[in-house]
Amino acid sequence: MLTHHDVTVRVRYAETDQMGVVYHSNYLIWFEVGRVELMRALGFDYKLMETKDDTFIVVADVHCRYHHPARYDELLTVRTSILEAKNRTLKFGYELLRQSDSKLLATGHTIHVACDRAGHVKHFPDKYKQAFLKLVVPNDSRSHA
């Protein structure tokens, strides 16, 4: 059973500062890459979720804890899981690991609200909610901050 999804990203020069260290906001972009790829692994195309089901997953809250810096040209793993799934909200958890030594570089989570195209809060369609619930990581086995 799928409990998380891993995706590889390579740190690009444009994502770093003059010292070759990744600028903090890029971690949030990688979190997005992780959640989009997790959705794809579940068999959902986020674009179709928006166009066919009028369901948008709006970011309501973001948290990122930086443990160690990521640097230019490193290969990183973005590990994404679902920490909580409710009728209208979804909480994703993230771990960012350096592939060369598996060092944990950052942890975080995002909370999302289901909305329609007009921005009104709505319930997740059942097909999504059921898939999300199957992936929820139990509290006692979480390693996310």
- Annotated active-site residue in 6, 17, 73, 126: 17
3-state secondary structure of 53: helix
Provide the b/e sequence for 112-142 (b: ≥16 CB within 10 Å).
bbbbeeeeeebebeeebbebbeebebeeeee
54 given a catalytic annotation: no
| Amino acid code (one letter) for 10 | R
Active site residues: 17
